Structure 1
Amino acid sequence: MIPKFSVRIIFSDEFKKFNLDGPDGYAHYWRDLRKDPMYFSKRNFGGGSLMVWAAFCGNGTVALSFFGTRTNSQDYQQLLAQHLLPYLRRRRRANMIYQQDNASVHASNSTLAWFAANNVVLLDWPACSPDLNPVENLWSVLVRRVYANAKQYTTVNGLKRAIRAEWDGLDKSLLQSLVGSTPNRIFEVA
């Protein structure tokens, strides 16, 4: 049985950076002199990147949104209007609650007014709290799948297609498991 909160809370994250040559940190490694050197990238500065916004609950995922490296409150509100509101409208009777962290674009007066005007109920999330958001775990799953076998991409569009394909292929049982683990993680830090 799925815990009731896992269906009602939509967990989100501000943005995750994806690079053409792999996740941050793949550019460097500790070289073992007994082995052949490994080369992760032949491009300066990784060759390109993109930022991804995501949200999910125990019942499924919200469509991904791709951004440049900088966003402001208006960009975030437009993203929510294009991705979150349609998801909420399709589940009108579910009384969904939206979780976000306290990034400046999330907590700005204009964004909070946007939530109120669109009747989006927010989960109270304390500032400077340990990052217990299950979307962080989902990002790690997605990163492992997108960059499996040291996969690198030649174009940002190719990377975007790969991310979207892996996101669309996420199993509902994984989502339920991640959301269902939230009470235990909260208990561990309490």
Structure 2
Amino acid sequence: MKIVSARDFSLQREVDYGTPEQNEAARAIIRSVRQEGDAAVLRYTESFDGVSLTAEQLRVTDEELKSAYDKVEPSFIQAIQEAAENIRAFHMKQKRNSWMDWQPDGSLLGQIIRPLQRVGVYVPGGKAAYPSSVLMNVIPAQVAGVPEIVMVTPPATGGKAGIDPYTLVAAAEAGG
């Protein structure tokens, strides 16, 4: 019997989508972040977004979440909660189970379904906020059983640190 695992396929495979210059620029950014970690992320945030942050500002605090809830309307919170419930119910119906089936000739057929260990979710931000992107990306990963979900979003426009309060509330309501 041959077992084929997703690990057999290179996750480092590069796919080019832009011009050669754009692809090389993207590869350079990825190399920098892999080598330098948060220091590179902070440098690129300042360069691209015009916002100077510290490493401590990369994670949302409880105070920031509380402040976000104070800034959004109760009707938004209710709508986000209802949407989250609907999205979760929809994706629960898509879940599949692992299965094994011994054949009369002694062979074993089946599939094992396991969630990824970690996923990254990018939520657009800056000039426009898309709180629904939080729900539509985080909740399916949760339903699939992904144990670690990391969400990133750009800071507010105009050189201000901070995240759109609607996006933060959506993240909190999604379980982030």
Do these two structures clear the TM 0.5 threshold for a shared fold by scoring above it?
A: no
Compare the two structures and name the one with the higher helix fraction.
2
TM-score (norm 2): 0.25
Which structure's CA Rg is the greater one?
2
The structure, 1 or 2, with the larger RCO (C-alpha pairs under 8 Å, 6+ apart) is 1
Compare the two structures and name the one with the higher strand fraction.
1
